[in-house]
Amino acid sequence: MKLIRHPDKSQWSEFLTRPAFETVELTSTVNAILSDVKADGDAALRRYTATFDGCELDGFRINKEEITAAGEKVPDELKAAIRTAGGNIGKVHAAQAEPIKVIETSKGVTCWRKSVPIECVGLYVPGGTAPLFSTVLMLAIPAKLAGCREIILCSPPDQNGRMNETMLYAAELCGVTQIFKLGGAQAIAAMSYGTETVPKVHKIFGPGNQYVTCAKQLVFQTGTAIDLLAGPSEVAILADESSVPAFVAADLLSQAEHGRDSQVLLVSTSENVIEKTTAELEKQITRLPRSEIALAALENSKAILVDRVDTGIEIINEYAPEHLILGVDKADEVAERITNAGSVFIGNYSCESAGDYASGTNHTLPTAGFAKSFSGVSLDSFVKKITFQKLSASGFRELAPTIEIMAAAEGLEAHRRAVAIRLEEIDGI
Amino acid sequence: MKLIRHPDKSQWSEFLTRPAFETVELTSTVNAILSDVKADGDAALRRYTATFDGCELDGFRINKEEITAAGEKVPDELKAAIRTAGGNIGKVHAAQAEPIKVIETSKGVTCWRKSVPIECVGLYVPGGTAPLFSTVLMLAIPAKLAGCREIILCSPPDQNGRMNETMLYAAELCGVTQIFKLGGAQAIAAMSYGTETVPKVHKIFGPGNQYVTCAKQLVFQTGTAIDLLAGPSEVAILADESSVPAFVAADLLSQAEHGRDSQVLLVSTSENVIEKTTAELEKQITRLPRSEIALAALENSKAILVDRVDTGIEIINEYAPEHLILGVDKADEVAERITNAGSVFIGNYSCESAGDYASGTNHTLPTAGFAKSFSGVSLDSFVKKITFQKLSASGFRELAPTIEIMAAAEGLEAHRRAVAIRLEEIDGI
C-alpha cells in the first residue's frame, strides 16, 4: 500500500480517481457478438460458447434431472449455510416492499403508486475462478419476492460443458425458473433479444467482466433495462486507534483477492494502525491461495493518514466506496454522517464478508463512484412503480381552473380543452 | 386514425412497435459537442449557443434581479395555479419518503437502509414552442424534498437571449439553486463535466429532443446518472360503451398536440365509440392552434377494436403506454389488472391533463415501452438508498460458520479468514 500523509484537499481527486473503463475499445467486438446473436440465435450462441468457453453444446437449458442431481452433490452443511443466508436476505428484502398509500391531494383527487413486478428478468452470474452462488441468492431472492414471473439465470459452462452444482442448487432453491449454460456478451445478447430457447427479458442483472458490462451498456441503449454498470469491486476502511490491525488487514485482503483491479483504500487517523496493518498484510497474505491476485491489487491501493475523523469522513464521501467498513470508535455516529457509499459495515465485527454472504443486505452494489447517485440492488430493482390518479366529478371541478390556466400558459390548448369539454358537461352547458 | 378490427395476437407486435430511435446517427455529432464542452468549457458553450439558439451570450447564469423581475411579470392567477399544482405535487412526493426500518435478520445482526439525497442534480427543460414550466415543478419539487444540496436548471434561451418568465418564477418557487440559459447537448455536457460557471452534477433529469436524449445516453456511459431516456410522448385509452367520445377525442388530441411523433392508441370494445370518437376528433381538431401537429400525430395513430375488455387490457399491458386513461365501466377493477404503464388515469374525469399539471403525480414517465421495466420520476429518483449492517460480537459469532462455509465453497479464502481471525479473538485462541 502506498502511504499518503495528510494530503491537501486539492490532491484528493488524484488518488481517489478510479482507473478509467476502457469499454470504447470493446464496443465493436461486443457489437458484433450482439448482432450475431440477434440474427442467428442459438446457432450463434453455440459458436461463441465453443470459442470462448471451449465446449461444444447442443442445448443450453439445464433440465430438472440435472438440477436434482446437482443438489444431491452439495454437502448438507453448505446447503444449511445457503438456507440461513437466504433466510436473512429474504427478511431484508421483504421489508423493502412498499405498501400502497392513497393520498388525497385535494378534495376528490386521489393519487397512489403501486409496485408491480417486472415480468421477465435475466440474472447473469460470472463463472471463472470462483463459482459465485452467493450472487444467485442476492439476485434471485428479491426477484422471487417481487413476483417476477420468469427468472432466467445465465452462467458460463466450464470446459466440460457443466455448471457448478452449488450454483444450480441455489438457483433452484431461490425460484429461478430457467437456467442456461451461457456466458459473456453472448448471454447478455440472448436475454436481451431472445433466441429459440432463451426467453427475451425486460431487465438484466448481475456482475461480469468488461465484455459483459459493455454488452449490458449496449443493450440498455436499445431498450433492455439493466441494474448497474459494475466496475472492479472496492472497499474503503475508516480506522482509528481503536481499530484492530489484524481485522483491518483481513478485510483489505478479502477485497483484494477479488481481482487484480480491486480497489482498496484505508483512511486512518492513526499512523500506528496503518503501520501495524501493513505488517499484518504482509503476514496474512502469504497464507492465501489467491495471494498473487491480492498482492497485485494491494500494489495499487492507498493508505491515507488524516488528522481527524472528520477529514476521513469527507474523503470517504468524496470517494463514494462500494463497501465501507467503519472500524472506529463511535462507529454509529460516524455512520450517520456517511452520504456516499453502497453498503456500510459498522464496528469491528461487521466485516465485509458478512454482507457479501449472510447478514441480509444485498452485495450487488454501485462501484466506481456511482454510489454518489446509484443504490445497490434491492426489491425496488425488480419492480416498477406505477402511479394512479382518480378524480371525482367534484374533485375535477375544483382542480379544473388550475389545470386550464397552466395549460393555456404553456400554449397547449388541447390540454386545456380536455378539461373544458368535461366542465361543459358537468356544468350542463 | 387507422382502425384495426379484432387483430390476431400474432399481429399485435406489428402495430404496437414504436418507431425506432435513430440515436446512432446522432452519436458523432453529439460526441463532438460533448468533447468540445469538456475541453473548452464556457467558450464552447458560447459558440454552441450562438449557433443553435441564435444568440450571443456573455454569461449563462441568471441572477437574482432577473428572477425577481420575471416573477413580477407572471400574472397572479397563474402564480396561484402554479402554487396549487405545486402543493399537490409536494404532497404526493413527500408521501414517497421511506422511513428507516431496522431489521434484525438473526440475533445480534441488524440491517437497514437509509435514503440519502444525491448531492448535486441537474434539471433540463426544453424550450421551443411551449415553455414547459410544469416540468420545472415535476423535477424541482422532489429534488428539494429529497434534500439535494445543489439543484441546477438548464433551459435554452430564445433568440433574444432570454428565458421564459414563468419558468424562472417556477424555478425560484421550487428551490432551484442556479439557473442557466443553456440548451441542447451542450447543456447536458456542461452539467455532466462542469465548466467555469456551470457546476458538475451527479444526475441529470428531464426531457429533450433527440440531441439531448443522445447526450444523456453518452454521459451516462462515463458516469453521470440519468433519469430516463425519453422518447416521444404517448397515451393509450381504453374505452367501452360507457365512454364519452367527446372526452376520448379531447384526450387523444391533448397527446397528439405534443409533437408530430406523439403516439396515440385507442383500444375499445365498442365500434360505435370508435366511430363517434373519430367524428369528434374531426370536429375538435379544427379549433386547435396546434392542429397541424396533432393531425400529423393522428395519422400514425391506431384505433383497435377488441371483442372484450380483457383483450384490451392484454394489448395495453403488451404496449406499456406512458399514459393510460381508463374511461371504462368499472375502471377501478380494470386498473388493478394493469401491469405495464407509466401513469394510470381512472374514470371519465381523470384526464391526462390533470396528471400533466396538477393532480400531484409526476409527469416525467417512461415512454417507448420502457414502462415494462422503468418507473417514472419520483422522490426515489433524487436519493440513493445506502444499506447498513451492524453485527454484535454474539451476532457475529452465531452467523460466522454460515459465512465461513459459503466463502470456502466459493474459493474465497481471504473472505473466510476475515471471519476466522475475528472468531479467534472472540474465542480467545
HSE-up of residue B81 (Cα within 13 Å, Cβ side): 23
Q: Are A86 and A359 in contact (CB under 8 A)?
A: no
Smallest Cβ–Cβ distance between A105 and the set B80, B247, B359 belongs to B359
B162: closest CA of chain A, how far (Å): 16
Instruction: Tell me the per-residue pLDDT of B216-233, one tens digit each, with 9 for 90 and over.
Output: 989 988 889 999 887 888
Contact A386 B101 (CB under 8 A): no
Which residues in chain A have Cβ-Cβ distances shorter than 8 Å to B103? 91-92, 95, 360
With CB atoms and an 8 Å threshold, state whether B359 touches A384: no
Q: Are B281 and B318 in contact (CB under 8 A)?
A: no
Residue B57's Cβ-count burial label (10 Å; 0-12, 13-18, 19+) is: middle
Q: Do A106 and B88 touch (CB under 8 A)?
A: yes
Instruction: Give every CB contact of residue B356 below 8 A, 6+ residues apart in sequence.
Output: A403, A407, A415, B134, B254, B363
Q: Do A192 and A166 touch, CB atoms closer than 8 A?
A: no
Could you tell me the fold of the domain covering A392-426?
1.20.5
Is pLDDT above 70 for B429?
no
Residue B300: band (very low, low, confident or very high) from pLDDT cuts 50, 70, 90? confident
CB B377 within 8 A of CB B227: yes
Catalytic residue list of B: 322-323
Residues B19-50, buried b or exposed e (16+ Cβ, 10 A)? eebebeebeeebeebbebbbeebbebbbbbbe
- In this structure, chain A runs to a length of 429
B330-373 pLDDT tens trace? 999 999 999 999 999 999 999 999 999 999 999 999 999 999 99
Q: What percent of chain A has pLDDT over 90?
A: 86
DSSP letters, A349-374, are T--HHHHHHTSSS------TTGGGT-
CA distances from B264 to A245, B253, B294, B373 (A): 64, 9, 10, 21
CB-side neighbour CA atoms (13 Å) of A122 = 28
- Please state the φ and ψ torsions of residue A291, each to the nearest 5 degrees: -65, -30
- pLDDT per position as a tens digit, B76-102: 999 999 999 999 999 999 999 999 999
- Chain A residue closest in CA terms to B342: A386
What the block records as the C-alpha cell of A419 is: 378539461
The Cα-based distances of B279 to A196, A412, B248, B289, B312 in angstroms read 45, 22, 11, 19, 22
pLDDT confidence tier of residue A129, bands split at 50, 70 and 90: low
CATH code for residues A24-100+117-226: 3.40.50.1980
Give the chain A residue nearest B346 (alpha carbons).
A390
List Cα–Cα distances, B246 to A45, A423, B230, B292, in angstroms: 53, 12, 29, 20
For B176, other C-beta atoms within 10 Å of its C-beta total 23
SS3 A170: helix
β-bridge pairing B302-305 and A234-239: unpaired
Residue A101 buriedness (CB in 10 A; 0-12 / 13-18 / 19+): exposed
Cβ-contact A161, A131 below 8 angstroms: no
Residue B418 to residue A166, Cβ atoms within 8 A: no
- Identify the residue whose cell numbers are 393532480: B359
Q: Helix crossing, B76-94 with B165-174: angle to 10°?
A: 40
pLDDT tens, position by position, A385-424: 999 999 999 999 999 999 999 999 999 999 999 999 999 9
Predicted confidence (pLDDT) per residue in A193-241, tens digit: 999 999 999 999 999 888 999 999 899 888 899 998 878 889 999 999 9
Residues of A with CB below 8 A from B83's CB?
none
More confident residue, B299 or A137: A137
pLDDT at residue B335, as a whole number:
98
Which residue intervals of chain A bear CATH 1.20.5.1300? 392-426
State mean pLDDT over B185-206. Answer: 98
Parallel/antiparallel/unpaired status of strands A109-117 and A103-106: antiparallel
Q: Quick check: A127 and A158 in contact, CB under 8 A?
A: yes
| Residue-level pLDDT at B190 | 98
Least CB–CB distance from A386: residue in B23, B341, B416: B341
Q: Are strands A343-346 and A263-268 parallel, antiparallel or unpaired?
A: unpaired
Instruction: Report how many helices (DSSP H) and strands (DSSP E) chain B contains, helices first.
Output: 17, 14
Q: A325: which residues sit within 8 A by CB, 6+ positions away?
A: A235, A236, A237, A238, A248, A251, A344, A345, A350, A351, A352
Q: Tell me the average pLDDT across B172-199.
A: 97
Query: For cell 400574472, what's the residue?
Result: B75
Residue B24 has pLDDT above 70, yes or no: no
From the candidates A322, A333, A336, A352, give the one annotated as an active-site residue.
A322
What is the reported pLDDT for A405?
98
**pLDDT confidence bin for A24, thresholds 50/70/90:** low
Q: Is the dihedral of CA A354, A359, A365, A371 positive or negative?
A: negative
Report whether pLDDT(B128) > 80: no
Q: What is the pLDDT of residue B129?
A: 63
Euclidean distance between CA atoms A193 and A213, whole angstroms? 16
What pLDDT is recorded for position A128?
67
Cα gap A51→A48, rounded to integer Å: 5
- CATH 3.40.50.1980 segments of chain A: 2-19+232-360, 24-100+117-226
Which residues on chain A are in Cβ contact (under 8 Å) with B119?
339-340, 372
Q: Which residues contact B314 (CB under 8 A, 6 or more apart)?
A: none
* Amino acid code (one letter) for B281: L
- What's the mean pLDDT in A166-181? 97
Contact by Cβ (8 Å): B118, B63: no
The ipTM value here is 0.96
How close, in Å, is residue B269 to chain A by CA atoms? 22
Task: Work out the average pLDDT over B139-168.
Answer: 96
Per the CB < 8 Å rule, is A354 touching B396? yes
Q: Strands B383-391 and B109-117: what pairing?
A: antiparallel
What is the predicted pLDDT for the residue at A360? Answer: 98
Q: Pick left, alpha or beta for residue B147 (phi over 0 → left; psi -120 to 50 → alpha; otherwise beta).
A: left
The gap from C-alpha A201 to its chain's centroid, in whole angstroms, comes to: 17
Is residue B185 within 8 Å of B32, Cβ to Cβ?
A: no
Give the Cα separation of A108 and A413 in Å (integer): 25
Distance from CA of B419 to the nearest CA of A (A): 7
DSSP A83-123: HHHHHHHHHHHHTTPPPP--EEEETTEEEEEEEEE-SEEEE
Structure confidence at residue A36 as a pLDDT band (50, 70, 90): very high
The Cα B278–Cα B239 span in angstroms is 13
Going by their DSSP bridges, the two strands B323-327 and B234-239 should be labelled as parallel
Name the minimum distance, in Å, from the CA of A256 to any CA of chain B. 9
What pLDDT was estimated at residue A131? 84
Cell for A68?
436434482
Residue of A290, A307, A306, A309 lying closest to A298 (CA atoms): A290
Helix axes A64-73, A165-174, angle to 10 degrees: 110
Strand order across the beta sheet in which B109-117 lies? A2-5, A302-305, A263-268, A234-239, A323-327, A343-346, B383-391, B109-117, B103-106
| Residue B22 in this model has a pLDDT that exceeds 70 | no
What confidence score (pLDDT) does residue A134 get?
Answer: 97
Q: What is the pLDDT of residue A298?
A: 92
Task: Check A375 against B386: CB less than 8 A apart.
Answer: yes
Which chain A residues are closer than 8 Å to B421 by Cβ?
A: 246-247, 250, 284
A384 vs B391: CB contact, 8 Å cut-off? no
Residue A313's contacts (CB-CB under 8 Å, 6 or more residues apart) are A238, A334, A337, A338
A351/B414 touch (CB, cutoff 8 Å), yes or no = no
Average predicted confidence (pLDDT) for chain B: 94
Angstrom distances, CA of residue B254 to CA of A418, B264, B285, B294, B354: 7, 10, 10, 8, 11
The pLDDT tens digits of the residues spanning A294-347 come to 999 899 899 999 999 999 999 999 999 999 999 999 999 999 999 999 999 999
User: What pLDDT was estimated at residue B23?
Assistant: 56
Convert the pLDDT of each residue in B38-50 to its tens digit.
999 999 999 999 9
CA B249 – CA B279 distance, rounded (Å): 9
- For residue B358, give the nearest of A257, A368, A406 by CB distance: A406
Dihedral angle of Cα B302, B23, B318, B315, to the nearest 10 degrees: 0
Query: DSSP string spanning B204-232?
Result: EE----HHHHHHHHHHHHTT-EES----S
- Nearest to residue A201, comparing CAs of A216, A210, A190? A190
> Could you confirm whether domain B2-19+232-360 is CATH 3.40.50.10860?
no
How many angstroms separate the CA atoms of B319 and B341, rounded?
8
What whole-number distance in Å separates Cα of residue A332 and Cα of residue B378? 29
pLDDT number for residue A167: 95
Nearest neighbour of B402 by CB, restricted to A85, A132, A393: A85
Q: How many helices (H) and strands (E) does chain A have?
A: 17, 14
Is the CB of residue B323 less than 8 Å from the CB of residue B255? yes
Give the Cα separation of B301 and B262 in Å (integer): 9
Question: Is the model's pLDDT at A283 over the cut of 60?
Answer: yes
Which residues are bridge partners to A110 per DSSP? A104, A390
